[in-house]
A = this chain, B = another copy of it.
Amino acid sequence: MTDTPSAAPVLNALGQAVQPALSRIPSGIGALADYARQARHHIEAHAWAHIESGCDQAQALAHNRQALDRIRLLPEPLPDLSQAHTHLQLLGQAFDWPVLLAPVAYHRLAHPEGEIASVRAAMAMRTGMVVSTLSSYTLEEIAQAANAASQELGRTAPLWFQLYSQPDRQHTLSLVRRAEAAGYQALVWTVDANIKRSGYPLPPGVEAVNLRGMPQPQQTGDLMDDHILFGTPLATGAPRWSDLEWLRTHTHLPLIVKGILSPRAARQAAALGADAIVVSNHGGRVLDAAVSPIDVLADVRQAVGPQLPLLLDSGIRQGTDVLKALALGANAVLIGRPQLHSLAVAGTLGTAHMLYLLRSELELAMAQTGCAQLRQIGADLLWQPR
């Protein structure tokens, strides 16, 4: 018996029967954009719409790409690449290259092996991964799969846990303790999506397994309610800056605050003990008018000074995007939706190949701009009209 009780065929957004994931890379896949196109055939229609959607009119989603595309690079030819590499240290941890898998909910929407397949690909490609609170396998199962893959392949990378505060602090704390126990090396506390509407009902077999037994407040949707959002537990119980202070005192793991866009909030997070910040607009899924991370990154870097590690996500799709983010002040970037695209197309193999492509592109972009190491990537690569 399967998780999907219905006998009706499952259709993709094109009205075709959903194709199962392949065991090889299909021809014509040479970039992350190709995975995005191909993935549509491998994902059920509603899940596809949910994955690809931005909030409201999807303007933030579009702006994220436009803001990156607007930036032009100034190549520098003929560099000495004899010692070229992409290694970096972040929070005392060694990364082979400055890209991580962003926390993305419910990988099983894309592939039955979900986060298990993703984390194997991450370890194979020596790529850091941030596991979501809303994972569709338990955080312990994912950590175990990461360890197994690392030992099998002789390759590893840091594994972090993304944390959503729960209405009951004890529930939040239990997630922290479980992550510590499972060996996660940092906590990524997401602050930009505590209050959001979601109209997407999860399909059978996909669930926030980490949150079993932890109730989540919801809007009733009743027009005649006295309160809509303000005045309800969703608003009155939403996390505040004081929760960061509390969290800081309750774990020794590095603590990263994710979902910052304003310089003011960045300074506040640093002042309250954040070890790093992820500049992000949640992939355009939360506030449709939100500024794009790449557009505020330099301001945030200026606000927090040169030492605090900054990561960026929301819109990264190619190697030049990574370079642009680093040139504007990021230490590393995270990629979101592309994980699900490659996972849906070819499982672990797909995501490993997707990361291979992205890294190839990054190294090519560094070579073209005369950068043999990450520290050479600076604002002088960026072209500004006179």
Contact = CB atoms under 8 A, between A and B. Distances in A.
B84 A296 contact: no
A238 B191 CA distance: 45
Interface in A28-60: 30-31, 33, 56-57, 59
B195 A367 contact: yes
Contacts of A196: 364
A202 interface: no
A82 interface: yes
Interface residues of A, number: 85
Contact of A229 (B191, B231, B265, B364): B364
Contact of A223 (B74, B125, B323): B125
A76 interface: yes
Contact of A74 (B72, B82, B296, B323): B296
Nearest to A262: B74
A363 B229 contact: yes
Q: Which of A230, A320, A323, A356 has its CB near the most chain B CB atoms (within 10 A)? A: A230
B230 A295 contact: no
B290 A72 contact: yes
A359 B244 CA distance: 29
A77 B230 contact: no
Interface string A288-304: 11111001101100000
Nearest to A286: B368
B229 A367 contact: yes
A159 interface: no
Q: Copy number of this protein in the oligomer?
A: 4
A174 interface: no
Q: Which of A75, A261, A366 has its CB near the most chain B CB atoms (within 10 A)? A: A75
Contact of A368 (B84, B192, B295): B192
Contacts of A76: 262, 264-265
A337 to B, nearest CB: 16
Nearest to A386: B299
5 closest cross-chain pairs (CB), A and B = A84-B230, A229-B363, A289-B320, A77-B191, A81-B235
Interface of A: 30-31, 33, 56-57, 59, 63, 69, 71-82, 84-86, 124-125, 191-192, 195-197, 199, 219, 223-224, 228-231, 235-236, 238-241, 243-244, 259-262, 264-265, 281, 286-292, 295-296, 298-299, 318, 320, 323-324, 352-353, 356, 359-361, 363-369, 372, 383, 385-386
